[in-house]
Amino acid sequence: FFFAFGYLLVAVTMATTENTSDLAQDRQFMDLYSRQIGAFGLEAMLKLIKMKVLICGLKGVGVEVAKNTTLAGVHTMSLYDPNPIAIRDLGSNFFFTEADVGKSRAAVCAPKVAELNPAVKVHPVPELTEDVVAQHDAVVFTMGNKADLIKWDEFCRKRTKKIVDEKGFPVEVPAPILFLSCTMAGLVGSLFVDHGPGYILRDKDGKEPLMKLVTNMVPMEEEVKLEDGTTEKRPYTRVHYITPDGQPPGSLPDDCLVQFSEVVGCTGINEAGPFRCMQADGDPVNTLRIGSTACFPAPYVSGGVLTEVKEPRPIPFRSLAQCITHPSNTETGIVQNATDQGFVMIDMMSMFAAGGVESQIHIALQGVQEFELKHGQLPELNNAEHAEECFQLAKEFAATVSSQQAFGGTIGTFQPIAIEPDETVIKRVGMHAGVEVQPMCAFFGGIVSQELVKMSGKFTPVQQWLNYHAFKALPATAPTDTQPLNSRYDDLIAVYGKAFQDRLANLKLFMVGCGALGCEFIKNFALMGVCCGDGKLWVTDNDRIEVSNLNRQFLFREDNVGQPKSEAAGKRAKIINPAINIDARQDLVASTTEHVFDDHFWLNLDMVCNALDNMKARFYVDGRCVFYGKPLLESGTTGTAANVDVVVPFKTRSYTDGGQAAEGGGIPMCTLRNFPHIIDHCIEWGRAQFEDLFVSPARQAEVFMENPKQFLDKERADTLGLDAGGERSGAISKAIPKLKMLKSTLEVGASRPTLETCVRMANEVFYRLFRDKIVDLVDKFPEDAKTSKGEPFWSGHKKFPRAVKPDLSNDRDAEFLIATANLFAGMLKIHGPKPPSEKNDPNNRWMAQYRDRGWLASVLSTLPEPEYQKGSVGDLEDEDTGGGQQEDDSQLEGELAKLLAELEQLGGATTSGFEPADFEKDDDDNFHIDFITAAANLRAANYYIPEAPRHKCKMIAGRIIPAIATTTASVTGLVMLEMLKILHNKPIEDLMNGNFDIGSNTYMMFEAEPPVQIRTRTFKEFDQVMMVEEEKTVTAFPNPHTKYDALVVEGARGLTLQQVIDQLQERSKLTVYAVSVGSEGENGAVVYNDMMKGTHKNLPTPVTELIERNGKSLTGRVMVDFLQFNFMDEDDEDVEAARVVLKL
């Protein structure tokens, strides 16, 4: 009931909302689409939820588009495809079952698509007419011949609508329908996009506008040479800026628009603009030029924020008919600049000359489409004669177009396509025309769905062709067993053959993670028949389904919320393909579960697929694959961007070799604690306050109550026990507020607290955070304070703050007090446990009676205003400590000593216990995000920073990575293609890693790199002691070797350490001088060192005993690398040796 009602509310929102502020207030909507809103933004979402989409053709790519777009939350999804379902359709359409064969594709799909998002209106269309098409905002064709596609494109371009103009008169204006056509031909796909002649691109990349802090604005002049040879001086203003703490570095793009705010001086500049900025050779770094600011009264004084303004740009799209013969306005046909139209580049070599593979695919598909017009059907699969005819028809098309060029057949700046047809490419396309290979459907399904989003003006649309191929995934030799078998796998068999299909069915595959990526992978595996024979698919994920998962993890429905992800996905996989053998688990994959996923498990696998969302887990799985020699499929997404990494032992680098993912710029503690200057700092501060108020005190109280003496002794040692100096002073300053909170928590816990007690505590926290701490800071650094260099202290990024007192007429203040009081009630166990979020009821919210502002006001009316409590100002950088009044160390030490004594008296206090808050960003009834949002905006009010909406606070505080179904579907399609290559033992030149972005249409795919070869090498090294340059040789053993190589010791279970060392020394002719127990990267326990005589007693000890004695379990292990051996050569120099593996 709760979910049905919630979706009803979302549907009402989608039907009635007229502005983004209304969307932001709808918590059910914001929760369901939180990750997508992070990628698209609210303005694009507002347009998306009003969009009516028609999809014509519901085989593989059509149903992928329907799935992704329905999950995205469009208003209406209409489905047209009257054709009867064939058994082979089950290989690419995940909604069809064997019982559906012979039924209408659209009729079967519609109710199942509707299950994905009950807020979307989904219905089948029985007949395709102009009236039907005209009712939609976008139409996607994945079926139809060339003549029909041209006809419908022209109709879409010419649609108009009637509106009332500003004078009140009805007028007819252009309202073109977005037209998309997607064609699949085996391992080739083609997308054509037509947004109409009046399309406006408003945001080319969808990224947050760059923000800089203004540090100075200087009037300047430059001498400009005029056309008549004379010169004149022209004024301009040079703007100096810095990057805010925690924001990405980098300059603003040249010729962009910028808007000023918060500038002191230049009266009126904050309200003017935006301004065109420029840069010239020789200008200082971190500066830009704008026009003269002499028109603004008063000179620049200080401060200011500079924000990039996304500039709208018109893109006139041309018709399909024109783009078939005149596809591009560039010499190569490739789109390289903003004004280019033609083919999206998928092969970098196509940049340098006409006739690249993108153009060849275009010619090839024209040959296929001409064949279809001529014969009324597509070429037969694997029919060489039909493929030859396609080639001849393609040549005729190219010749006809070339003759147009010879006779000046240009259309504006668009030349007719004139290239020599490539017979190999065209015949490949002709052999598999009409085949929908599932990975290609997934890849293009995501791209087409993202193009629908671009109707909003956000993200760069395809202009106007995307032709992609995966020829490197084809078998090196064409299989001979490609005849159709009247099975669901016939399309895949047509390309790869029956024997290879059987191999897929018998794979033993382990997938780690079952979220958005995992759902798509499982769908792909089931459709392709992976693990559907004697093979098996193990899936593990210890997470459970949440509401926010439902709009991108398509295997889950509202009735699955709260269930284990792997279990629910496994059941849905059996519906897609009953033959799949799946073992769904909820075990974490980590060093702590190596008894679960033991050696026998890993050695039994053929391949591993990661579907993870964190680097630590990715690196661990990568390490296991290196150790056991298993191929790894790796991928990830962030918004519209994605990456693919394929790892094959001994052939490619491992995933870890790519290095740590780039981390965002950290925010210095002094900025968070004292000098925030953008809202992000306030949100991070609010998240830290959540820990300081509702987590750490409860945990500390629990530790304290277990052993008060031990706790206090440690606190004394960590503060008063330190030597006098800065470290001691800093430790004391940090300990005092923490211990004050502990003391307060213990006292309250022992006083039989009530909800009224919690309101009093919340009120005290309000005054302490937003009044007292600000007063402390201003007392230490008055408005006229100077730095140690004599410069104004409150300058640059430092904003002079103001104190704030609670005002219950302000929603922000009331929300803070209500959330804080209820969180204290939870910590003090006054509230009982909160039910899981799937039971949230918007009409009967948890603790509704304590959300009432009247209740809050009645309690506050009995409380006096808390007295100001002086505190210290800590977390200052060295340059910040020169000005202001210095802290009295002796006073702080006295305060700490008193606190410790008072805590000692509380050691025997009796309480009902404490419950630390467990931060959960996706439960809108638990007060967590409510608190952080209110705290962040109150902090912003202290520092005159514009406040943030709740959703932005949730995204930043919850570390939410923008995620959308479109990118996820696309990247898993490419990963499947790499899996096919691995199984065909393709050379490294065919294995493709890469990064792509379906928002900006960039596809940077490149060959996988081979593993690093560790070789014996000689180099020059400067000796710091002798002050001379010396030649040094580092020996490698084996020479060369890679991280995949190992020195294997057989039968090690019965060997002593001495026997293992003897074997290794005999084999390597090197000396083992040290051995330790530990995993790679650990500082292991030394069990032998030639220079440490006490360790020699371990030499006669069995290696298994040494390993277990040092905390490593051998349960379920048949091979380990827990012993780390250090080798040296005859010159006593260290040797870079391969790892040692003991086979037990």
- Find all residues with CB under 8 Å of 76, minimum gap 6, and list them: 51, 52, 53, 120, 121, 122, 123, 136
Ramachandran bin of 606, using left for φ above 0, alpha for ψ from -120 to 50, beta for the remaining angles:
alpha
Vertex 490: Cα angle to 486 and 494 (nearest 5): 130
User: Is 12's pLDDT higher than 60?
Assistant: no
Among the ranges given (109-113, 500-504, 739-743), the one the predictor scored with the smallest mean pLDDT: 739-743
Virtual torsion, Cα 82, 84, 85, 86, nearest 10 deg: -140
Highest mean pLDDT, choosing among 25-39, 213-227, 910-924, 1056-1070: 1056-1070
Task: Quick: pLDDT tens for 259-305.
Answer: 998 888 899 999 988 999 988 888 898 899 999 888 898 899 888 89
| pLDDT exceeds 50 at position 10 | no
- pLDDT at res. 904: 86
> pLDDT digit string (tens) for 766-800?
999 999 999 999 998 998 888 878 888 887 778 89
pLDDT over 90 percentage in the chain: 58
Judged by average pLDDT, the poorest of 700-704, 807-811, 870-874 is: 870-874
Calculate the average pLDDT of the chain: 88
pLDDT tens digits, 120-135: 999 999 999 999 999 9
Q: What mean pLDDT do residues 522-545 have?
A: 95
Phi and psi based region of residue 203 (left: phi greater than 0; alpha: psi -120 to 50; beta: remaining): beta
- Spatial CB neighbours of 502, under 8 Å, sequence gap ≥ 6: 533
Which among 469, 473, 534, 540 is positioned nearest to 511, based on CA atoms?
Answer: 540
Please, what's the b/e burial string for 985-1009 (b: 16 or more CB within 10 A of its CB; e: otherwise)?
ebeeebbbbbebbbbebebebeebe
Which of 196, 444, 416 shows the shortest CA–CA distance to 344? 444
Can you give the pLDDT at residue 8?
41
Lowest mean pLDDT among 175-189, 670-684, 1043-1057: 670-684
Instruction: Quick: pLDDT tens for 74-85.
Output: 999 999 999 999
**Catalytic: which of 519, 670, 758, 953?**
670
- pLDDT confidence of residue 402: 77
Compute the C-alpha angle 349/355/361, nearest 5°.
Answer: 100
| Residue 390 among the catalytic residues | no
Kindly tell me if the per-residue pLDDT of 662 is higher than 50.
no
Q: Report the C-alpha dihedral over residues 990, 991, 997, 998, rounded to 10 degrees.
A: 60
At which residue do the structure tokens 């008296």 appear? 905
Instruction: Please report which confidence band the pLDDT of residue 337 belongs to, taking 50, 70 and 90 as the band edges.
Output: confident
Cα angle at 235 between 229 and 241, to 5 degrees?
130
Please determine, for residue 255, whether its predicted confidence score (pLDDT) is greater than 90.
no
- pLDDT of 22 reads 65
Per-residue DSSP letter, 768:
I
pTM of the model: 0.87
664 pLDDT above the threshold of 80: no
Which of 113-117, 220-224, 467-471, 616-620 is predicted with the least confidence, judged by mean pLDDT?
Answer: 220-224
Q: Residue 26 above 80 pLDDT?
A: no
Interval 347-368: pLDDT, tens: 877 777 777 899 999 999 999 9
Strand partners, 192: 181, 465
- Number of residues written out for the chain: 1144
Q: Is 1133 left (phi over 0), alpha (psi -120 to 50) or beta?
A: beta
**What are 894-952's pLDDT values in tens digits?**
888 888 888 888 877 777 788 999 998 888 899 999 999 999 999 999 999 889 988 88
Rounded percentage of the chain residues whose pLDDT exceeds 70: 93
pLDDT at 21 over 70: no
- State the pLDDT confidence band at 667, using cuts at 50, 70 and 90: low
Q: Which structure tokens are listed for 1037?
A: 């053993």
pLDDT of residue 331: 84
Instruction: Using the predicted structure, report yes or no on whether residue 732 has a pLDDT greater than 90.
Output: no
Q: Which pLDDT tens digit goes with each residue over 620-657?
A: 999 999 999 999 999 999 889 999 999 999 999 999 98
Q: Would you state the torsion angle of the CA atoms of residues 36, 41, 46, 50, taken in this order, to the nearest 10 degrees?
A: -50
Q: pLDDT at residue 702 above 50? A: yes
Backbone angles phi, psi at 867, to 5 degrees: -70, 150
With CA atoms as reference, report the closest residue to 442 among 80, 35, 967. 967
- Quick check: 531 pLDDT over 60? yes
pLDDT at residue 410 in the model: 56
449 pLDDT higher than 50: yes
Least confident of 513-527, 616-630, 881-895, 995-1009: 881-895
Would you place residue 315 in the very low, low, confident or very high pLDDT band (cuts 50, 70, 90)?
Answer: very high
Q: What is the 3-state secondary structure (H, E, C) of 706-727?
A: HCHHHHHHHHHHHCCCCCCCHH
